Amino acid sequence: MVIENLSPRTITSYLNDPKRLIEYCNKPPGQINKEEIYAFLVYEREVKKHSRSTMHINVNDIRFLYKNFLKPGCLMGSKRAVSLAKQPCAGPCFKP
């Protein structure tokens, strides 16, 4: 991660969020399936009350773990396995 010139804060985030997932599931990351990841994200959102932006960071950190260190494609498939919810428009929306 240092080679990719990531900031120290990004590296910390990339390490801590997957660590919480592993602790939540109580199994090695290679054995965690999509349903368990969804359950973890629901737990983070509903119980821990994480904000939308924090949830996006969680998803990206977990995606980074699986994409770069574990089995690439094992959770991603042809589409995103864990998709990010779109935020509803809070004001006037202008479409190009």
- What pLDDT is recorded for position 95? 45
Residues spanned by the domain of 14: 8-68
- What pLDDT is recorded for position 30? 82
- What pLDDT is recorded for position 23? 92
Measured distance CA(63)–CA(14) in Å, rounded: 9
- What pLDDT is recorded for position 39? 92
Q: How many domains does the chain have?
A: 1
Does 50 fall in a domain? Answer: yes
Question: pLDDT tens digits, residue range 19-34?
Answer: 999 999 999 888 888 8
Does 79 fall in a domain? Answer: no
pLDDT at 52 over 60: yes
| For residues 43-51, average pLDDT | 90
Does 84 fall in a domain? Answer: no
Query: Which of 87, 81, 86, 6 is closest to 40 using CA atoms?
Result: 81
For residue 25, what is the domain's CATH number?
A: 1.10.150.130
Does 39 fall in a domain? Answer: yes
pTM of the model: 0.66
